[in-house]
């Protein structure tokens, strides 16, 4: 991977990002409930002592890792292609969901136990940063430009795309294909804002 000449001991930044990667990996395999200092240390090939010097329990390590994860990419609505921009927004969501941080967030959000401590830290970092949902950025853009009546852009409507993707992930465990995304846009989102697609097929 990165250059690690003859050195045998990682320090500072290098060590920490290895640990961050390790927690995220670990949470995927064992879930939030079974995160242990031991497991993280072993996966990061470091000593438990090193972890305790910086954090006091596995959840802290996890939160820290998420805090330092790459931020969520934002959809940038283009010229005049509502349908295309919606699909791209959903693609962004799928892409993020499949990133280590996204998968970890999913594992956390759905953990019965990990409510208080983690979720708060999460919402502050991951969600507050982003304006809201992926599609709503796009929808707001086009509503402001009069492509459809702004009063149709309710919270429910803003959630449709993300909700359907989430459900598909839960049901099948597999990410939706681009065809699936197009179907979601054509059959659920566009109708909700009063735009029936011309002829789906």
Partner DNA sequence: GAAGTAAGCTACAGTCGTGTATCTAATTGC
Partner DNA sequence: GCAATTAGATACACGACTGTAGCTTACTTC
Chain residues in the site for a second copy (CB under 8 A): 27-34, 106-107, 109-113, 115, 152, 154, 156-157, 159-160, 162-164, 166-168, 170, 173, 180, 183-184, 187-188, 191-192, 194, 196
Binding partner of 31, given DNA, a second copy, none, CB within 5-8 angstroms per partner class: a second copy
Measured CA to CA, the distance from residue 5 to residue 29 in angstroms comes to 31
Residue closer to a second copy (CB basis): 47 or 170: 170
With binding defined as CB under 7 A, does residue 95 bind DNA? no
Residues 161-183: b if buried by 16+ CB within 10 A, e if exposed = bbebbbebbeeeeeebeeebbbe
With binding defined as CB under 7 A, does residue 52 bind DNA? yes
Question: Considering only CA atoms, which of 61, 58, 71, 72 is closest in space to residue 15?
Answer: 61
How far is CA 12 from each of CA 17, 19, 50, 62, 152, rounded to the nearest angstrom? 9, 11, 11, 17, 51
With binding defined as CB under 7 A, does residue 12 bind DNA? yes
Question: Considering only CA atoms, which of 134, 126, 125 is closest in space to residue 95?
Answer: 134
Residue closer to a second copy (CB basis): 16 or 104: 104
With binding defined as CB under 7 A, does residue 11 bind DNA? yes
Residue closer to a second copy (CB basis): 52 or 123: 123
115 Cβ contact list (under 8 Å, min separation 6): none
Q: Do residues 165 and 140 lie in contact, with contact meaning Cβ atoms separated by under 8 Å? A: no
Measured CA to CA, the distance from residue 6 to residue 113 in angstroms comes to 43
Minimum distance between the CB of residue 115 and DNA, rounded to whole angstroms? 19
User: Binding residue for DNA (CB under 7 A) from 7, 70, 174, 199?
Assistant: 7
Residue closer to a second copy (CB basis): 15 or 195: 195
Structure tokens at 21: 């990667």
User: Binding residue for DNA (CB under 7 A) from 3, 6, 151, 173?
Assistant: 6
Residue closer to DNA (CB basis): 26 or 85: 26
Binding partner of 91, given DNA, a second copy, none, CB within 5-8 angstroms per partner class: none
Residues that bind DNA (CB under 7 A): 6-12, 15, 36-39, 45-50, 52-53, 56-58
């Amino acid at each position: 991977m990165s250059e690690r000449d003859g050195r045998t001991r990682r320090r500072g930044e290098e060590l920490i990002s290895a640990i961050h990667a390790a927690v995220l990996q670990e949470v995927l395999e064992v879930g939030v409930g079974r995160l242990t200092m031991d497991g993280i240390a072993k996966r990061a090939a470091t000593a438990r002592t090193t972890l305790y010097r910086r954090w006091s329990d596995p959840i802290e390590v996890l939160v820290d890792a998420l805090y330092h994860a790459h931020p969520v990419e934002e959809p940038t609505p283009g010229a005049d292609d509502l349908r295309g921009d919606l699909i791209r927004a959903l693609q962004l969501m799928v892409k993020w969901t499949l990133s280590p941080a996204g998968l970890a967030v999913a594992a956390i959000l759905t953990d019965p136990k990990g409510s208080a401590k983690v979720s708060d830290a999460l919402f502050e970092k991951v969600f507050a940063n982003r304006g809201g949902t992926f599609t709503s950025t796009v929808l707001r853009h086009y509503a402001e430009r009069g492509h459809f009546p702004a009063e149709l852009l309710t919270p429910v409507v803003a959630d449709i795309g993300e909700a359907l993707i989430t459900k598909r992930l839960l049901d099948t465990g597999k990410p939706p294909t681009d065809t699936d995304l197009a179907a979601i846009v054509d059959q659920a989102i566009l109708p909700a804002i009063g735009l029936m697609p011309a002829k789906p097929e």
